[in-house]
Amino acid sequence: MYAKKNSLAPVVPVDYVVNCILAAAWKAHRCGATAIYNYAGHSKNMITWGRFMEIVEPPGWQFPTEKIVWLFCFKIRENQIWHKICVFFLHTMVAYFADFVLICVGRATIAVKNYRRLDKMMDLISYFSIRSWTFQQDNVLELWDQMGKDDKKMFKFSMEDTDWIKYARDSILGARMYLLKETLDTLPKGKRKLKIMFVVHYAVVALFWILKNGIDDDRFFHVSCVVFQDEFRLD
């Protein structure tokens, strides 16, 4: 991801956005005036892009999709040129290789299309993630204060007490269930597929290492040991 690690991430749950819109409509009807609401989290509970990427990765290992075509990772790169180089080798090349394998086994190609969609979305996000933003949210805070206790419970949108770790977990799990249409009973299949991708990924890494340095290089064995120590994450 092309972003600044220390930049604030104005990430908000979409259902909170809907609740804020409904509350704003309620106030507009009540007061007869329309205000501008910059809904971008809460100033007392913001999170950086670096921290957000850290907490999103563990749920990805816990709830892997069976539609995975390669081992995933979450990396932030602040240099745009280096980011584009990495996208080419880690997204574009991998996608074409995956589709080539699918063609060989007689299945429909999906990787290139999906990676193009992902890269397009990340390019749109990068406009915000590479910069630091300060949003004036007085109207949002005032709107929240004017709501009653029951309304706050039913139409909650304040992020002052948001648990970001739980938010990341729910987001990954929700994407798996509602976007990819995978129920929890497919989780064992997803974990098995992720283990396969883990082995394939590092087998390819090892192959390139051998081609470049030779198998007699002591560093190869050291790196191999370090890499496969991480396999506990797949359990």
**CB of 110 within 8 A of CB of 94?**
no
The Cα–Cα gap between 141 and 85 comes to: 42
Mean pLDDT (whole number) for 209-217: 64
In this predicted model, what pLDDT tens digit does every residue of 127-154 receive, in sequence order? 888 888 888 889 999 999 999 999 999 9
pLDDT at 25: 92
In this predicted model, what pLDDT tens digit does every residue of 53-74 receive, in sequence order? 889 888 888 888 887 777 777 7
Q: Report how far apart, in Å, the C-alpha atoms of 207 and of each of 69, 93, 185, 201 are.
A: 19, 16, 35, 10
DSSP 133-147: -----HHHHHHHHHS
Tokens of 84: 């584009």
pLDDT at 219: 55
In this predicted model, what pLDDT tens digit does every residue of 8-26 receive, in sequence order? 888 888 899 999 999 999 9
Class of domain 1-77+133-182: alpha beta
